[in-house]
A and B are shown apart, each in its own frame.
Chain A
Amino acid sequence: MIIPFIKKDLLVLLRNPQELLVLVLMPLVLIAILGFALGGVMGGDAEPITAKVAFITHSDEQKEIEAFIEEIKGQEMPEEAETALIQSANLLHPIQTLVDDVFGSKELKEIVELEVVKAEKLDEIKNDDHYAAVIEIPAHYTYDILSSALLDEPSSATITLYKNEGKQISPKIVEDILMNFQKQLTSMTVIGKAGVQLEDIKSKEIGKTETVTEREPINSLQYYSVGMSVMFIMFIASHIGSSAYREKQLQVFNRIILSNTSRWSYLGGIFFSVIVIAIIQQAILYGVTSLIFGVVWKDLFGFFLVNLSLSFAIGGVGALLTALNYRIDSEGVSNFFGNVMVSIFAFLGGSFTPIAETSSVIGMLGNLTPNGAGMSSLLQLLQGVELSAIAHHLFYLVGFGLIMLTAAVFSFPKRGDAI
């Protein structure tokens, strides 16, 4: 008895281009506009930072270390002290450390591409926009650092950094790296003066490393594909609620009742029609966004389950809107839902912007809306979260649908009421 209603509602919808525009074309247009216009706002949109940095050194590190050692040997100092200083001098290779250990580390290699350049090219490179920064190591840098660190002599060693002002972030990153390097060098120097072997410090681990669950970032096209889909699914409830009321006005409902179809079958027909149309709508929207915008769902089973639960909840809303329209004998309830409530729900649910991040209360309220719960679930699925982690949202959506359906059954006018 439900199938004729679903067939009829689908046919009526297919013959109604205005409704189709609202339910299918408009969300796709909005996904495209918002997704591209707000690209870069979402974490997943961030382009990887790559900085090309030129490295020019006037210092011959090995020769300067040897010169320093010769100088130590030339001084008349106790043998033990001389040996300790020579050992420390052989360990401290500030330029090599900067190039190999700092810029050569796995993490920084992904961000900074260090290119060792001959000193004569400095002027040329300073005007080359391909470089985010130029690091210039002065002559006698290593010797000065060793003298300062081990012999407590005043240091004139200064690294010069030329920043390309045309680049916004990368020169700042290079500057921070150098500052941090300088700090570490200073602390090692202080520790060296305190009589601690530098070798001991290097080999010690610093604290404990914890691993947190890593989620894939969401880009704006993914975000708005979900945001607009869960928003526009609600218009189906409003559309069917209004169509059902027109059936009453035209006495089609009376005809249905006279066929010995119960009111509950009719309401069931509305409920399932909304579910079927919602599933089709979501399939079209996500299908198109997958083909055009590359929004791909890895966990298809989870994706289907969330959309089924969301459609179930919206089916309940559609049934309730129909029942209330019939009760108050006006299309007003479904119109109010479509014109006002959908926007409020969409805002709270985060369809326009991730508002839940601003406050936990708004986040909680958002998740109480069917679209909000659906959106949270779908975004988490996109981030690679397990289905079990979003099960509470699915239970909520099914519960929400059942509550709406129960409310619809109680508010639908009974035989003998003025309908």
Chain B
Amino acid sequence: MLEVIDLSKKYKQKYAAQGINMFLEKGEIVGLLGPNGAGKSTTISMLSSLVVPTSGDVRLLNESTIKNPQNIRKILGVVPQEIALYTDLSAEENLRFFGEIYRLKGAELKKRIEEVLEQIGLTDRRKDLVKTFSGGMKRRLNIGVALLHNPEIIIMDEPTVGIDPQSRNYILEAVKRLNKERGMTVLYTSHYMEEVEFLCDRIYIMDKGHIIASGTKEELKNILSSENTISIQVERVKEEFIQLLEADPTIRQVKVLDRNVTVIVPKEYNLFQKISQIAEETSTALISVEVKAPTLEDVFLHLTGRALRD
């Protein structure tokens, strides 16, 4: 349906995105996973025709959208990372304004406003000014505006940033429903690995302006099929403990998050004995040592040497 071919964007001397190749099939949810500054938003902006790429092409049903962006705009809904709403207007007034600029009129506009308010669960708050809404409600309305004109493809740029877990679940479920019930194609970007894992059929992982891996969840996790992820929980992380782990040639990655130390090692290598030995040498009290099934976070760690939320 939508194909991105060798897409690059250069700002001054620096590439924000380079050599991006990806595709979206009708009715699938595709994730674009990467840390902040990876180039996800630039890629989305080019894909949605807001930014003209330095090179490459975006093709909708085999037709370039670069020179004629009107066609893709008709079938595209974009949920920006910012709350792109008028906070001095009510939820309904916002939907009406955006509906009108999408050329919806009269009964059709009224019907769509009702449907969208229902979808995002804001029917009872329709008359309230957006500035009185919670962060989660604003995010829901932010999504609602993108749904007004019944788009075939929806691109969501980190739609759950800064909201409570309850609102996040509401949004994730809503995205699932849109895909299942309406057959909407979704491109979902996030740096929350668990969201992408929950929603997406296929995933692209981006870092430093490049796509570094892509595939289904299983395919990506298979990258780590020859390795184990070991999670070590300690009472207090000591510098010497980490240094000794990093000095071990068999350990591929060491990552510290609070009191958790994650290490990636080849499957054939038994690390328990080594970990106990280093802990004893550095007087580090171990709480638990656990071999985990690989996650997308581990895949990213494996590919970049950094955690997603670094």
Contacts and interface: CB of A to CB of B under 8 A. Distances in A.
Interface in B65-112: 69-70, 73-74, 76, 78, 80-86, 88-89, 93, 97-98, 100-103
B237 interface: no
A392 interface: no
A258 interface: yes
A259 B98 contact: yes
Which of B51, B76, B93, B97 has the largest count of A CB atoms less than 10 A from its CB? B97
A250 B97 contact: no
Nearest to B54: A416
A256 B89 contact: no
Interface string B118-159: 000000000001000000000000000110010000000000
B85 A252 contact: yes
Contacts of A255: 78, 80, 84, 98, 145-146
B97 A7 contact: yes
Nearest to B80: A251
A361 B93 CA distance: 50
Contacts of B45: 254
A2 to B, nearest CB: 10
Interface in A216-265: 249-252, 254-261
A415 B67 CA distance: 10
A416 B51 contact: yes
B251 interface: no
B70 A260 contact: yes
A11 B89 contact: yes
Contacts, number: 67
B88 A258 contact: no
Contacts of B286: none
Given A4-B97, A261-B101, A250 B82 contact: yes
A261 B100 CA distance: 11
B50 interface: yes
Interface string B43-77: 00100111110000000000000000110011010
Q: How large is the interface on B (under 10, 10 to 19, 20 to 34, 35 or more residues)?
A: 20 to 34
B101 A1 contact: yes
Given A250-B83, A252-B84, A415-B52, A258 B78 contact: yes
B48 A258 contact: yes
Nearest to A8: B97
B86 A257 contact: no
A106 interface: no
Which of B89, B101, B145 has the largest count of A CB atoms less than 10 A from its CB? B101
Contacts of B73: 258-260
Contacts of A251: 80-82, 84
A15 interface: yes
A123 B87 CA distance: 80
Which of A3, A4, A259 has the largest count of B CB atoms less than 10 A from its CB? A259
Nearest to A418: B11
Contacts of B82: 249-251
Contacts of B11: 418
Contacts of B129: 15
Interface string A402-419: 000000000000011010
Interface in A1-52: 1, 3-4, 7-8, 11-12, 15-16
B128 to A, nearest CB: 12
A12 B88 contact: yes
Nearest to A12: B88
B102 to A, nearest CB: 5
Nearest to A1: B101
Contacts of B74: 260
A256 B86 contact: no
Contacts of A16: 88
A254 B50 contact: yes
Nearest to B48: A258
B84 A12 contact: no
Nearest to B45: A254
Contacts of A15: 88-89, 129
Contact of B86 (A249, A252, A254, A260): A252
A1 B129 CA distance: 24
3 tightest Cβ-Cβ pairs between the two chains A and B: A416-B52, A4-B100, A15-B88
Interface of A: 1, 3-4, 7-8, 11-12, 15-16, 249-252, 254-261, 415-416, 418
